[in-house]
Amino acid sequence: MHFFDVVEKRRSVRVFTGASVEAGKLEAVLATATLAPSAGDLQAYRIVVIDDAVTKKALAAAALDQDFVAEAALVLVFCADPGRSETRYGQRGASLYCIQDATIAACYAQLAAAAQGLASCWVGAFDEARVAAVLCAPPGLRPVMLMPIGYAAEAPERPHRRALEALVHRGAW
């Protein structure tokens, strides 16, 4: 699919078929995520792949009982690594760059999923400490988004977007 078609066609999907995700497609999603830019090329994030039912259910519960998270074939958890950014960039690295690194990687992953006919949803509403506990995450890692991935069992309408003029300011204020 052409890049702009991928971006145009991607939707947040919250109903999944029971079909699993082919290993090759998952690898492509993960590899594409690593191509994202990152501050100082530190790639200050970790991507956790969860495909077992028990852990998916625990993640859904930690995500304010968003049950659809557990219905996806797998869930990627993007975690920022503040310590890794801090070594080179101090507080700005720890509080900002690592979050941006993880977020951009997740964005690349989501588009890579869409390009392969997979459906996903960006899930940001969750109890961070609880997700970290479910994952037994090493101290310091911050889960920043959950990405349930699978095959769509719904076809959401194209959502409303604010007008370009409301979002873009040409020149300084």
- Contact positions vs ligand FMN (CB under 6 A): 11-12, 14, 66, 121-125, 156, 159
In the block, tokens 């625990």 appear at 58
Find the shortest distance in angstroms from Cβ 152 to ligand FMN.
11
Q: What's the order of all strands across the beta sheet hosting 74-80?
A: 45-50, 74-80, 142-150, 119-120
Q: How distant, in Å, are the alpha carbons of 61, 75, 84 from that of 133?
A: 12, 16, 20
Q: By C-beta, is 121 or 141 nearer to ligand FMN?
A: 121
Least distance (Å) between residue 64 CB and ligand FMN: 7
Amino acid of residue 54: V
Q: Toward ligand FMN, which CB reaches closer, 23 or 155?
A: 155
For residue 144, give the nearest of 76, 77, 48 by alpha carbon. 77
CB 66, min distance to ligand FMN, A: 6
Cα(54)–Cα(52) distance, integer angstroms: 6
C-alpha distance from residue 91 to each of 95, 119, 129 (Å)? 6, 36, 21
How far, in Å, CA of 116 to CA of 171, rounded?
Answer: 38
- For residue 121, the minimal CB distance to ligand FMN (Å) is 5
- State which residue, 87 or 129, has the beta carbon closest to ligand FMN: 129
Cα 65 to its chain centre, rounded Å, is 18
Nearer to ligand FMN, 11 or 57 (CB): 11
* Closer CB to ligand FMN, 40 or 152, in the complex: 152
Which residue is closest to ligand FMN by CB?
124
State in angstroms the smallest separation of the CB of 117 from ligand FMN. Answer: 16
